[in-house]
Structures are given as structure tokens and as C-alpha cells.
Amino acid sequence: MQPLIVVNFKTYATAMGQKAVDLAQAMERASKDHVRMIAVVSAFDLHAVKQAAPSLEVWSQHLDPVGKGSFTGWLQPINAIERGAQGTIINHAEHKVDIEHVQQLMQQLPDEFPMCACAADVDEAHQLAELGPTFIAVEPPELIGGDISVTTADPAIVSETVNAVRAINPHVRVLCGAGVKDGKDVKTAVELGAHGVLLASGVTKASDVDAVLADLVAGLGN
């Protein structure tokens, strides 16, 4: 299976609107056959990004377990899919939800629609693994957006999460994030048992996006 490089655009000024399109096109250029590159974009940018980078996999940053009808302000899954979403993250440290939200959302999504549930620690990853999402991304909140990667600051949380999730559901794949910046971090994540990485500012705030993306991909070999 291809390892993942998942870039969360968040609502950074460098990754919204036309800049989201530019960043997605840079990711499309950097994509290689041995890597699964994924852009996680604002719901407002889903359609434009997918149109501009058609070969790039594009996910939503959040979805809500609601149908069509009287749900003002919620992110309706089928509408998101119609606008280009090919997957979603959920329960990010910056947008926490309860376990019932995750479970109900899974029940609404098509079977082949990937979901990455974010966990702050091994215990939360354990709880989420029992639901069986496609991926679980472990991200210690205190390291998110920082200069030190989780693979350096707390490698044990990566390996322990991998072991805990595998023990519950071996079909769930583990990603790691928080402070991931370069190819060395990606390589270390995979060596610790992760299936890839979830990162944001290391790409979205880079002065040379193409160079950073090339380095991340290089960390996964050929």
C-alpha cells in the first residue's frame, strides 16, 4: 500500500482561495506513483481545488452527520462529495467532536469513502479504533504547529498507537502528525510503523513549497 502524505490546508492565508489552488497544483506536480498525496482543504475551496488539480486526492477538513434539510451551517456529507471531497478528516485537535459524532458520520458515508479520525493520544486512538475508521492520525496537541516533530519529541506515542490500533483492528492504518516538516520526519514515521504523515504548516507556510514537497516525497524512497 502507498504511504500517505496528507497536507491540511487549515485556514492559513497561504492556503485559501487562489492560494489553495496554487498549493494543490504544487502537490499534484510533486506526486509520485509510490506516494499517495492528499490535500485537506476548506469546504469553500473543495470544488475549485478539485477542478484545478484533477489527479490530486482532495479531502474535506470536517463533516457533520446530517442529511439534507434543516441543518443551517452544518457540512453535509453528500453535498461535500458532490463538490469534490474524496475523503475527510474528523476530530482534529482544532475541531474536536464526541465519539458519537464520528460513529454517526461513518454510518452516513459511502463504504469506500476514507475517513481519518484524529487522536491526541494512545487512549483516544484506542477508542476510535473500535469504530474502524480508515485511518487514525495521532497528533499530540502541544506539538501541532511547532518546530519539533512528534517523531523526535515523542516517538513512543507513534509506535504505541500503531500497536494499540493493530491489536483492536488491523485494517485501520495509523498516520502521525504534529511538527512534521521534512523527509527525515516522514522516513522516521514509517520506520516507527506509521502508514504516513498528516502535516500542515511545514508545507503551507514554506517559502519554497516545491522543494519541501520534493523532500517529503524523497523521505519515502522510490
Grid cell in block for residue 126: 484506542
SS3 167: helix
Q: Give φ, ψ of 136 to 5 degrees.
A: -125, 130
**154 pLDDT above the threshold of 80:** no
**57 pLDDT above the threshold of 70:** yes
Supply the pLDDT for residue 149: 74
- Integer Cα distance of 93 and 141 in angstroms: 6
Q: Quick count: other Cβ atoms within 10 Å of Cβ 211?
A: 11
SS3 172: coil
The set of catalytic residues is: 92, 139
SS3 57: strand
- What angle (nearest 5°) sits at the alpha carbon of residue 28, between those of residues 177 and 15? 60
**Residue 196: enclosing H or E segment and its boundaries?**
strand 196-199
Supply the pLDDT for residue 222: 65
Work out the pLDDT band at 182, boundaries 50, 70, 90: confident
pLDDT digits (tens, 9 = 90+) for 20-29: 999 999 999 9
Is the pTM here over 0.75, yes or no?
yes
Domains of the chain: 4-218 (3.20.20.70)
pLDDT digits (tens, 9 = 90+) for 102-139: 999 999 999 999 999 999 999 999 999 999 999 999 98
Mean residue pLDDT of the chain comes to 93
SS3 122: helix
